[in-house]
Amino acid sequence: GLVGSEMCIRDSDYCFIGNKCSPWAEMYHGILKDDHIPVIIRQWSPRTAAYTGEVGTRTDFFVPYSELDHARQLEQALMDSSFEQPD
């Protein structure tokens, strides 16, 4: 089942790893798929977002507990690369 990361026990448990908005959600999803990490995504519609004051669609990501560290490293690499300025 889907559980919070602190609730994950078995390697097969899908843990919540965080959420992203477009275009980061699509980029992150692509990176996870490229590395063959199984991922479950849950998208929040703009209607839902209207209540929280967010713009656009927010996507929650869940990955197997066994892939949690790997997925976090990929996320860190994505965020690091996005803030690098070209020379």
Mean pLDDT by 10 residues, the chain (87 residues): 67 90 92 96 73 72 94 93 67
Peptide bond just before 38 cis, omega within 30 deg: no
Helices (H) and strands (E) in the chain, counts: 3, 4
Overall size of the chain counted in residues: 87
Question: Could you tell me if 20 and 30 are in contact, meaning their C-beta atoms sit under 8 angstroms apart?
Answer: no
Q: What pTM was computed for the model?
A: 0.75
pLDDT of 23: 86
pLDDT of 17: 92
Question: Could you tell me if 46 and 57 are in contact, meaning their C-beta atoms sit under 8 angstroms apart?
Answer: yes
